C-alpha cells in the first residue's frame, strides 16, 4: 500500500488515528512556536551571526494558529506548549493565549521570563499552570555572556514571582562544557528551598550552533558529580510521567527536584509523543528532522490538512530522524540541513 493510499484509508475508515505513527506512537503533544524572534541571543539557540527571519506574511497570524491548533485537537492532541523564539515578544500574545485556552487542552509555555510578569493575569485566566523558564546560569555576569543581555536580576525575580503566584515552575538549563557545567551542584542547591524542577538539558546540535560531542555533559557525568556531593540514600529516583523526556530525581528533604533530559547520550524516542509547528506553519515530526510539511500554505489554499498531517506522522523515523547510533548523530553533515533552534521552537 502506498503512503497516499494509507493516508486515504486512515481518513475513510478511521481505524488508525492520524496522529499514530508506524511505530505505534500516539502524538498528543503539540509544541507551537509563535515567533522566530527573541530578546536574548543565546548561541546554542541562535547562531552568532543571527538568522534570516521569515517575512511577516510567511508567518502564522493569530487566527491561523488557532485554526491549525483546533485541527490537531480534533485529531487527538491534549497538550499544547507555546514556544519561540520568545513567545512573549509577539504583540498579539494575549489574544493567541485567550483563543487557544478555549480548546480542551493542557496549555503551557516555555519562556525566558524576561517580561512574563506582565502576563500573570492572562496566564491564570487561560488556566496555564506550568511554565518552563530557560535559565542557563545562576551567575549574573555569566548570564550576560551567554545571552548577550543584562536581564539576570529581572529573570530571577520573575521566577520567584511565578512561584509565589502558584505556578509550577520548571527551569531549563542547557549544559555546555566550559560554560556552565561547574554550576551543576549550585543548580541542585537551588531546589533546596524552592519548589521548582531544575532540568539539565544536554547540548544538542542545530544549524549554526557549533555543536560538538565533546561539549556535551552526559547523564552519567551529571549524576557522577551529584553522587560525589550527596550520599546515595539522599538521592531519590522519582517516578517519570508517561512519555516523559526527562529522568527525574530529588534530594531528600529538598522542596524542589531535578531532572536530566539526555537527548544526545540516552535518547527517549521509543515513547515520543511530540510534534512541532514552526512559526511559519511547518510541521516537524522530530526535533532533528530536516523534512517538514507546509500546513500554513495548505490552510490558506483551503486544502485538507488531515492527509498532510497523516503523511508527515507516517514518515517519522524510529529514532532521531534516522540517526540511531552515535556514528550518525555525531556527523555534522547530518545536522547542517536542519534549522537553527530559534526557528524551530524550543
Give the per-residue pLDDT at 118. 98
What's the predicted TM-score (pTM) here? 0.91
pLDDT digits (tens, 9 = 90+) for 25-66: 999 999 999 999 999 888 777 766 667 788 999 999 999 999
Category of 217 on φ-ψ map: left (φ > 0), alpha (ψ -120 to 50) or beta: beta
Q: Would the pLDDT of 205 be above 50?
A: yes
d(C-alpha 174, C-alpha 197), whole Å: 14
Q: Would the pLDDT of 232 be above 70?
A: yes
d(C-alpha 246, C-alpha 149), whole Å: 29
Give the per-residue pLDDT at 9. 47
* Average pLDDT of the residues in 243-249: 93
* Average pLDDT of the residues in 193-197: 98
Q: How high does pLDDT run on average in the chain?
A: 90
Give the per-residue pLDDT at 1. 45
Q: Would the pLDDT of 107 be above 90?
A: yes
> What percent of the chain has pLDDT above 70?
91
Least confidently predicted of 226-235, 263-272, 305-314, 324-333: 324-333
Q: Would the pLDDT of 209 be above 70?
A: no
Q: Would the pLDDT of 115 be above 90?
A: yes
pLDDT digits (tens, 9 = 90+) for 267-322: 788 999 999 999 999 999 998 888 899 999 999 999 999 999 999 999 999 988 77
Least confidently predicted of 73-82, 169-178, 263-272: 263-272
Q: Could you tell me if 116 and 39 are in contact, meaning their C-beta atoms sit under 8 angstroms apart?
A: no
Q: Partners of 190 in the beta sheet?
A: none
* Average pLDDT of the residues in 334-345: 74
Q: Would the pLDDT of 7 be above 70?
A: no
Q: Would the pLDDT of 204 be above 80?
A: no
Q: Would the pLDDT of 11 be above 70?
A: no
Give the per-residue pLDDT at 342. 79
Higher pLDDT, 20 or 241: 20
Give the per-residue pLDDT at 233. 97
Q: Which of 200-214, 265-279, 323-337 shows the highest mean pLDDT? A: 265-279
Give the per-residue pLDDT at 21. 95
**Cell numbers at residue 284, please?**
516537524
Higher pLDDT, 241 or 74: 74
**Cell numbers at residue 268, please?**
527517549
| Of the options 3.40.50.300, 3.40.50.1820, 3.20.20.70, 3.30.460.10, the CATH number for the domain spanning 3-151+169-344 | 3.20.20.70
d(C-alpha 325, C-alpha 342), whole Å: 26
Question: For 261, phi and psi rounded to 5 degrees?
Answer: -105, 105
> What percent of the chain has pLDDT above 90?
72
Give the per-residue pLDDT at 58. 94
Amino acid at each position: 500500500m502506498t503512503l497516499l493510499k494509507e493516508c486515504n484509508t486512515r481518513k475513510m475508515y478511521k481505524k488508525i488515528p492520524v496522529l499514530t505513527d508506524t511505530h505505534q506512537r500516539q502524538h498528543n503533544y503539540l509544541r507551537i512556536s509563535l515567533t522566530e524572534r527573541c530578546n536574548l541571543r543565546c548561541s546554542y539557540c541562535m547562531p552568532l551571526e543571527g538568522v534570516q527571519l521569515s517575512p511577516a506574511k510567511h508567518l502564522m497570524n493569530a487566527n491561523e494558529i488557532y485554526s491549525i491548533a483546533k485541527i490537531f485537537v480534533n485529531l487527538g492532541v491534549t497538550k499544547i506548549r507555546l514556544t519561540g523564539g520568545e513567545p512573549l515578544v509577539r504583540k498579539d500574545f494575549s489574544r493567541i493565549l485567550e483563543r487557544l485556552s478555549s480548546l480542551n487542552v493542557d496549555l503551557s509555555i516555555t519562556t525566558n521570563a524576561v517580561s512574563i510578569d506582565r502576563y500573570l493575569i492572562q496566564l491564570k485566566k487561560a488556566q496555564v499552570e506550568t511554565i518552563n523558564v530557560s535559565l542557563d546560569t545562576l551567575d549574573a555576569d555569566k548570564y550576560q555572556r551567554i545571552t548577550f543581555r543584562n536581564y539576570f536580576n529581572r529573570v530571577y525575580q520573575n521566577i520567584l514571582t511565578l512561584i509565589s503566584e502558584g505556578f509550577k515552575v520548571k527551569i531549563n538549563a542547557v549544559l555546555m562544557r566550559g560554560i556552565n557545567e561547574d554550576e551543576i551542584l549550585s543548580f541542585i542547591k537551588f531546589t533546596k528551598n524552592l519548589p521548582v524542577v531544575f532540568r539539565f538539558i544536554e547540548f544538542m546540535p542545530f544549524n549554526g550552533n557549533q555543536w560538538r560531542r565533546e561539549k556535551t555533559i552526559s547523564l552519567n557525568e551529571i549524576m557522577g558529580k551529584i553522587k560525589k556531593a550527596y550520599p546515595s540514600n539522599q538521592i531519590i529516583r522519582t517516578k517519570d510521567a508517561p512519555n516523559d523526556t526527562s529522568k527525574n530525581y530529588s534530594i531528600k528533604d529538598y522542596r524542589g527536584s531535578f531532572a536530566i533530559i539526555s537527548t544526545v547520550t540516552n535518547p527517549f524516542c521509543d515513547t515520543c509523543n511530540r510534534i512541532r509547528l514552526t512559526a511559519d506553519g511547518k510541521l516537524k515530526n522530530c526535533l532533528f528532522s530536516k523534512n517538514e510539511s507546509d500546513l500554513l500554505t495548505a490552510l490558506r489554499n483551503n486544502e485538507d490538512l488531515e492527509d498532510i498531517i497523516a503523511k508527515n506522522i507516517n514518515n517519522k523515523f524510529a529514532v532521531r530522524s534516522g540517526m540511531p547510533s552515535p556514528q550518525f548523530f555525531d556527523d555534522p553533515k547530518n545536522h547542517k540541513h536542519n534549522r537553527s533552534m530559534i526557528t524551530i521552537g524550543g
